[in-house]
Every structure is written in structure tokens, then in C-alpha cells.
Structure 1
Amino acid sequence: MITRFDGSFSKLPGNPSPSPKVHFLAFAPKLPFSTLKSPIISLKLSSMDPRLEQAAESGSIDDLYALIDENPYILENIEAVPFVTTPLHEAAASGNIPFAKEMLNLKPSFARKLNTSGCSPLHLAAYMDENEFVLRMLWFDGSLARVKGRNGITPFLLMVSRGNTDLVAECLLTSPECIQDETVDCQNALHLAVIHDRFEVLQVLTGWIQRMSQINAYSIEDRVLNGLDFNLNTPLHLVASKNDHQMAKLLLECRLVQRNQVNGDGLTFFDIFKTQGQSDAGGDLRSQGPRVVREDLDLEQVATKTGCKVAASLPRPKTKFEILKSPFTFWTLFSTFMRRLRTDTSDEARGVFLIVCTLIITATYQTALQPPGGVHQSDDANTGSVVMKQTFFILLWISNTTGFACALLYTFFLIPLGSMFASWFRWIGTSLCISYALAVAVISPHPLVFLSATFAFFLLIALYILLEAFLQQWRKHESVAPEIRLSWFWKD
């Protein structure tokens, strides 16, 4: 049987109502920059036994097993073909859930099989609006939403383009990784939602992205919100080109959206928004109604408040070759040293070092709170200060503060770069240093002197480590090694 249909996305706003006798066994989404030459596809069934085709269409499990009894290799022969229409494709197009579940029990691999038009069974069910069938398939295996079909389109991306918010939400819950999928044109779900004017779907997607708690959720959120297609357009650029105020405000509210990203034409969101607004008005704002003008002004105010700028006002970013050929500075050497230190430390060693540093921080901080020998308990001027002699206290203060500061700094070095906890630890470490300095000052014979000295000591230790790292890296670039060494710890 041969059937023809227009598989372009121009029909997506409406709900298709095909005859139950017609088999939509291919879909060819006509996306922007698509490689398809013609949206009219000739749909041919595979050389599947017509009786098996009829059984799948009618959902007769008894007929299926009668055919298996007649030819036990009937399903194996279909599976051996790389691209073929399977009984599961037929069941998906017809929405026969019991037959599909039986087929999945017999041949789970059919769920990922593509027909000659690049469609999996889930693609067909999504295109035919067989929502219950799609849900059952997702409950069976959530990763089926990520099966790449023609043009790299997954069932999830197809549901986004069709605007089915319920199925989009179900896909995100059963397969959270599907938010990272892209077409062959490097368009992710946000690009497609903008292209096909799916505002509610865009709300679902941005809501999910900002609520993610999976591994690397922060980097995934940044990568999806600021994904670049082949023209280096982010979803925000596409929104500006469509002059959609609702979508623009929604994306601008996302905190990780790069508002001043430059696209392939060297334009930012603000550039495109202003140009598009003027072209829609024919160069005359008075030709637009007062409501449209007010909306444009409101969006411009929102864009300005969120830091949107035109490309001309942005500093020219350095290219990769300019960065690589730039001369070495102190901070370049130090950052290289720190990256190598983190890279050379294995996860097992990092865990051991963190435990050791934690014990050192705890012991040194406890010493500051409860010094050896205790404190004076009398009511005179020495109440609360240490009992030990001042010379011993100075030695204890130097050694204890050195251990505390070094352990705290090394703990910071061991924390992975880019993690959210790294920024938190700066504040935690700073607060702990202030508490330590105050604790030492309270028990010292001269509080103000030791308070100032403790803060100065922290700075000296940090500067010493920075200088040592700089000299160690600098020696590697010198033809003759210097005779003077600052460090007692590192060996050449």
C-alpha cells in the first residue's frame, strides 16, 4: 500500500485527523535550514507479511502468534533489516497499546528501529497524536524519547515542535537528558519552541531547566539556554527576530541567559530587537498602534535593566589564537599551576587530602578556642587571656595559624573549578578566618596587636604561595635555573 502526505511542520498548528486505514509511516519535518529537498514523501510499506501488517493494524495478538507458529523466524527476518517498517510501527500508527506491549516483550529492539523514512515507532505515535501510546512507551523506556530520527529529530523534539506540553513534561520527567538533544542543524528544544511559536512549551522548558538538580545541572542549563545553531543564533536571537515580546521577557528572566551574545552576523539580541521593531513599523513608530509602541517600550526597558547592550558598545572579544599567542603573565602562570595541580590529583587522592585538611582545620581552630594551659579566670585585667608566657604564645600562634591557613587554602585548591560550592566556600572560608582571628585576639595578651597580626599573616601566607607558584613556573621557562630558592617544600 502506498500513501502520500505532506510531512512539513506547516500543518503542526492543527491536529491531524487521518483515517484509521491510512498509515503515516514517515515524517519529514520541514525545519529552517532543513536538508530536505521536497516535503512530499512517498510512503511505502516494507516487505512485511501482509497478514502481520493486518494483525498489527487490528491489534490481534492471536493472529500474531498464529504467524509466529507458522514461521518462527518472522520477527527475526524483520529485525535483520537495518531500516524497516516493523509491526511496532504499525501498532504505533494505529494506537494499539496491548499489541505494542506484546511486541516489546518479544522484540524490545523494535522500539528503536527506524523505518526507511527515518522514523521510530515513538515518532509516529507522537505525530499521530496517540498520546496514551506515547505515555506507555515512555513508561516502558524513557530513553526512547531520545532516539534520533531523520535530521537528528528525536520524539521529544517532535513533541516540542507540535506544542504538546503534557508529553513534553512527561519526556523531561522520564528522560531528563533529552533537554540536551539537538537536530543536525544544532537546534535544541528551545530553538524549536521559538521557531514554531510554542510559548507554553517554552515556559515548560525554561521552568524545567531552572529546576534541574541532576549532575552538571548548572553547565547543562547554561549550554541549553545559550545554545548556538548553525548561524550562531541562540534562542534569544530567534525571539528577537520574531519580535515576540512574551518569549523575550520569559528568556530574559532566566539568570544564565547570555544577553549580549553575538550571533553570526555580529548582532546581539538588542540589535536585532531594535532593527526588527523598526522594520515592522516601516521606519515610523507612529504607524504602530499605541499598545504595540507601549509593549516595545516596556520590553526595551526590561532589556536595558537586565543588561542588554548593542554590539557596538561591547568590547571586542579576543579570538582563540590571540589568547594562545599572548605573553605569559603572573596570573597566567598561576592559573596554569592551579589547573595542573587539580588535574594531577586523582579523585581518591583528593578525597584523602580533603579529610586530612578538615582534621587540620578542626585541630588548629580548636587550639585557638582552647589554648594549652587555659586562660586566666581572675577578675583582673588579664581575665580571658592565655596563662602561658608571651614568647610561647607567639610561637604557638605562628605555627597554629600557618597550619590553619595552609589547610584552608589547600582545601580551596582541591574543590573542582566551576562547582557551585567553590563560590560558597570563598564566603565560608572568609568567615572562618575572621572567626579564627577574633578567637586568637580574645585570648592574646594584646588583642588589637594580635588581631592585626593574624590578618596580616593570612595575607603573607597567600602572597607567599602565589609567589612560590610564580617562581616555580618561571624557572621552567628559564634556560639557566636560578640559584636562590624560596621554598623548602617543592623540589625541581
Structure 2
Amino acid sequence: MNTNSGDQLKAAAETGDIDLLYTVIHDDPSILEIIDSIPFVETPLHIAASWGHIHFAIEVMNLKPSFLWKLNPQGFSPAHLAMQNDQKRMLSRFVDMNKDLVRIKGREGLTPLHFACQIGEVELLAEFLIACPDSVEDMTVRGETALHIAVKNEQYEALDLLVCFLRKNIVRGAGRTQYKILNWKDTDDNTILHILAQRNFEPQVVKALGLLLKTRINLMAKNLQNKTALDMAGNVDIRSIIELRSKSNSQISNAPTLAHKLRSNTTIRHKVRICILRIRSNILEEQRNTWLIAATLVATATYQSGLSPPGGIYQVSASDDHNMNITSSNSTISTPKNAGFSVLSGPGFFMFSILNMTSFFLSTIAIIIMIPSGTMDGVVVVPVLSFTLSYLFSMIMISPTFVNSMILLFVLYSLGVVLWIDVFLGMYYGLKPVIAKKLNILSLKQYCCNRRNTSHGL
């Protein structure tokens, strides 16, 4: 590449002259290849992005798509330069052509999404999040998320948008991503709440605090100085708001280390879960599918045989003259007292029910074990358990003797009690922090009202 061709190419990019671009290519056909071979270089696309020449930029991108990912000697891509020079339409075209450009990292690990948070471009930020939801997980070299950058630059509208996006995001794993990003720590182990707690008492700060306190943010997180957000609060009013929802550093025990967790006592529930997870991990996918089909067929067959035991059940039909003509499914005459019960004798039905229930319970347990681990476990487990309870209820209804009914009823109640205890415990531990959070939010609102009345001399 000669100097004259390079100067002409630069002039074409600065003016957006596509004709001059092709004149340079005609004179020096390898000029774009030579530029592309340089690791860090200012390409014609960098220049066009800075000047806002959209048509020229698209022409260059069609000729050399790799220029989109090139960093100049200052560590910026064309998308970064478009952000810095307020070329929003140019940036939108970049994202339309390749959504992954939202995540391209430049100097200090900053992405275009980070830049949008830094300067408070809310509309552009929303466009980036919709185009590439995973971009919210990108970090800078300082371990900062987009939320850290928004708080540090006091861009509270951008923070509000990011938090609302995390709460409304529905892609796979969105719940785990929300918790991770809200509680992410930078290289100083500061969460966004640590940084926000150090701000002055202003309406925007109070609003941002209220928004964060409604989320799953960890109020007990400590930074490298072993301080919580409450300890970092410099303003008395900010400290009072956080104090309604938090505990002081002296009241918070240190989080258990990984070594402590590994050495902790294993409960019976954990042992059962470990056993199930080990079985799942040792099963190949083809084996899982085959065994799951077999277990489902066995459960269905045993359920059906439970509804129609050997010999059938006694049935009753009413004639037109209202005289009772009582027959069984095998034409055995019965009395109204036996209608709906199994034809089998008491001992015979007891043996049948034991064998049938054993097969049914083993197959349903196998179904639960074969279900792959994931967030959808409960969607399958709950119907299976309900199916089991309905099976037991059916067996109770057709049992021919009182003793058999009582035994089956005891099994049904025992299983039901265990399930309800597990459900209530799960609801208790799940709703306990939510209820506490709601109560504290009400206290926070009351505190803000009192502050507002005090400031107005009421």
C-alpha cells in the first residue's frame, strides 16, 4: 500500500465518497487486504463511523465485514467511535447487520452497551438490550457490569432500565442471570448497592435505592474492606433507608466458605438428593429415554389394573319400574351394599393391591428420577404426585373390606401429609424473606413520607 493510496482512501472515508473509494481500489486492488492484515489499525470504516457516513460505511462493510471487529491503535472499534461521536443511526445500522456488535469489547473491556450506560443513552440502551439480551452479562477489566457503570456515572434512568429489563427478561436462565448481575462484585468486591450507598441524599438516589431494595439484591454482601452497603453509607438519611432493610456489619456473620459448605453435615434430604443426582448423571441420554418410556407404560398399566382389578367390580343398574337389578361386571348377582367394590375377596384384594402398588410406586419414582435436572422439574413432578394420590383414592373406593380401606387410607394420608409438609416448608422459607421485604418496603415508604413532611415543616 503506497502513501498516496492511503491518503486518498482516508479522504474518501472522511467525505463519504464511494466513487473515490473504488478509484483507490482500482489503482491499488490489495489495499483493503493490507489494512486487514494489520492487527490494530484505523480502517476506512472507523473514519466513516466517526463522520456518520452511513452509505459509505455499509459499502465498506460489504467489501470487508471483518473491519467491523477491528480495533484502532486506541483500542476502539467502529461501533465505539460511532457511540463517542453521537452517530446513533450509524450504530443502529451496525447492530442491524450484526447483533453481536453490542458485545464487542474495546479499551478496558468496554462494550457499546457500557458506553450507552456511561452517557445515559436510554433509548439506545433499550435497543441494545432487545437486540442482544446476553450483553447485560459483559464485564469490564475492572469487573464492572453495566449497572456498576450506570451507578458510578449517576445515570439513574439507565440503572432503572437495566433493573427493569432483568426483572422482565424471559430468556432461558433469566432468573439466575438476574440474581448474578444484581449481586455482582467488581474488583473491589463492591456491589451496585455499595456504590449507591455512598451517594448524597437526592430524589433520584432514593428512587434508585427503593428500586434495588425491591429486587433480590443481597444486603449482606461485603467488599474487600469487609463492609456492607450499610457500613459504606456516608449520608445519615441514606443509611437510615438501608438500615430499614439491612443489619449492621457487626450483626452479620461471615458467609460460609466453600470448605465449610463441603464439610457441613449432610441431612437425609441431602443424601436422597445426592443419590438421585448421581443416578441421573450416570445415565446415558438413550438409556434415560428408554427407561422413561418403560416406566411410564408400567405406571399407566398398573393404574388401569387398579381401576379394573381381576374379576371386575360389582355394578348396579336401575330398571324403568325402579326395581333394582343388580349385576356385577362378570354377571355375578350382588346387593346394593357391594355396588362399586371389587369382586375379589378381602385377602385376595390385599395381595393384589400390595403387588400393584409396589409396581406403581416404583415406576413413578423411576419417572421422577429419570427427569433431567433443571428448572422444569416441578412441572412434571407435581402432576406425577397428583396422579399417585388419585390412584390411591381409587384403590380405597373399590376396596371390598373395611380393613383394606383403612390400610390404603393410612398410606394415602401419610403420603399426603409428607407432601403437604414439604410444600408448606418450601412456601415458608420462600415467602419469609418476601413478607419481610414487603414490610420493610412499607416502612421505607413511611420513612420517606416523614422525611418529606419534615422538610416541608409539617
Does TM, scored on the shorter chain, surpass 0.5?
A: yes
Other-structure match for 1:269:
229
1:245 aligns with 2:206: yes
Other-structure match for 1:260:
220
Q: Distance in 1 between matches of 2:366 and 2:55?
A: 60
Q: Is the 8 A contact 2:16 2:48 kept in 1?
A: yes
Task: Give the C-alpha shift of residue 227 in structure 1.
Answer: 1.2
Cα distance change, pair 387–258 in 1 and its aligned pair in 2 (3 A)? farther
1:434 aligns with 2:389: yes
Between Structure 1 and Structure 2, which shows a larger proportion of helix residues?
A: 2
Aligned match for 2:177, one of 203, 207, 220 = 220
Cα distance change, pair 443–362 in 1 and its aligned pair in 2 (3 A)? same
Task: Give the C-alpha shift of residue 277 in structure 1.
Answer: 3.0
Q: Return the letter of the residue paired with 2:346.
A: Q
Q: Is the 8 A contact 1:369 1:440 kept in 2?
A: yes
3-state secondary structure, aligned to 2:226: coil
3-state secondary structure, aligned to 1:118: coil
Task: Give the C-alpha shift of residue 326 in structure 1.
Answer: 5.0
Q: Return the letter of the residue paired with 1:453.
A: V
3-state secondary structure, aligned to 2:247: coil
Q: Distance in 1 between matches of 2:358 and 2:99?
A: 54
Q: Is the 8 A contact 2:198 2:235 kept in 1?
A: no
Aligned match for 2:107, one of 142, 147, 150 = 150
Other-structure match for 1:395:
351
Aligned match for 2:35, one of 78, 89, 108 = 78
1:103 aligns with 2:60: yes
Cα distance change, pair 214–277 in 1 and its aligned pair in 2 (3 A)? same
Runs of 4+ in structure 1 off by over 6 angstroms are 457-460
Aligned match for 2:302, one of 317, 339, 364 = 364
Q: Return the letter of the residue paired with 1:450.
A: L
Q: Is the 8 A contact 1:437 1:455 kept in 2?
A: no
Cα distance change, pair 444–259 in 1 and its aligned pair in 2 (3 A)? farther
355-364 vs 174-183, which deviates more? 355-364
Q: Distance in 2 between matches of 1:453 and 1:327?
A: 31
Task: Give the C-alpha shift of residue 457 in structure 1.
Answer: 7.7
Q: Distance in 2 between matches of 1:159 and 1:329?
A: 49
Cα distance change, pair 137–358 in 1 and its aligned pair in 2 (3 A)? same
Other-structure match for 1:463:
none
Other-structure match for 2:360:
404
Other-structure match for 1:486:
none
Q: Is the 8 A contact 2:199 2:235 kept in 1?
A: no
Q: Is the 8 A contact 1:225 1:235 kept in 2?
A: yes
Q: Return the letter of the residue paired with 1:442.
A: M
Q: Return the letter of the residue paired with 1:362.
A: T
Greater Rg over alpha carbons, structure: 2
Other-structure match for 1:422:
377
Aligned match for 1:413, one of 365, 369, 375 = 369
3-state secondary structure, aligned to 1:49: helix
3-state secondary structure, aligned to 1:76: helix
Q: Distance in 2 between matches of 1:364 and 1:163?
A: 63
Other-structure match for 1:35:
none
Q: Distance in 2 between matches of 1:149 and 1:228?
A: 21
Other-structure match for 1:324:
262
Q: Is the 8 A contact 1:48 1:86 kept in 2?
A: no
Cα distance change, pair 389–457 in 1 and its aligned pair in 2 (3 A)? farther
1:25-82 superposed Cα distances (whole Å, 9 cap, x missing partner): xxxxxxxxxxxxxxxxxxxxx9981111110111111000000000000100100000
Cα distance change, pair 201–416 in 1 and its aligned pair in 2 (3 A)? farther
1:337 aligns with 2:292: no
Q: Distance in 2 between matches of 1:444 and 1:186?
A: 66
Q: Distance in 1 between matches of 2:381 and 2:224?
A: 37
Q: Distance in 2 between matches of 1:57 and 1:327?
A: 69
Q: Is the 8 A contact 1:368 1:440 kept in 2?
A: yes
Q: Distance in 2 between matches of 1:375 and 1:409?
A: 29
Task: Give the C-alpha shift of residue 181 in structure 1.
Answer: 0.5
163-172 vs 110-119, which deviates more? 163-172
Other-structure match for 1:453:
411
Cα distance change, pair 370–211 in 1 and its aligned pair in 2 (3 A)? farther
RMSD (Å) for aligned C-alpha atoms: 2.8
Other-structure match for 2:426:
none
Q: Distance in 2 between matches of 1:457 and 1:300?
A: 44
Task: Give the C-alpha shift of residue 271 in structure 1.
Answer: 4.0
Q: TM-score, length-normalised on structure 1?
A: 0.72
Other-structure match for 1:346:
284
Other-structure match for 2:97:
140
Task: Give the C-alpha shift of residue 328 in structure 1.
Answer: 6.3
Q: Distance in 2 between matches of 1:125 and 1:258?
A: 37
Q: Distance in 2 between matches of 1:186 and 1:403?
A: 54
Q: How many residues align?
A: 391
1:97-136 superposed Cα distances (whole Å, 9 cap, x missing partner): 1111111100000000000111000001011111100100
1:132-172 superposed Cα distances (whole Å, 9 cap, x missing partner): 00100000000011111111111111112111111111111
Q: Return the letter of the residue paired with 1:420.
A: T
3-state secondary structure, aligned to 1:171: helix
Other-structure match for 1:443:
398
Mapping for residues 291-310 of structure 1, pairs under 5 Å: 299-300=241-242, 303-304=244-245, 308-310=246-248
1:172-212 superposed Cα distances (whole Å, 9 cap, x missing partner): 12212111100011111111111112222122212222222
Other-structure match for 2:442:
none
Identity of aligned residues (%): 33
Structure 2 residue runs without a partner (length 5+): 317-334, 419-458
1:120 aligns with 2:77: yes
Q: Is the 8 A contact 2:389 2:412 kept in 1?
A: no
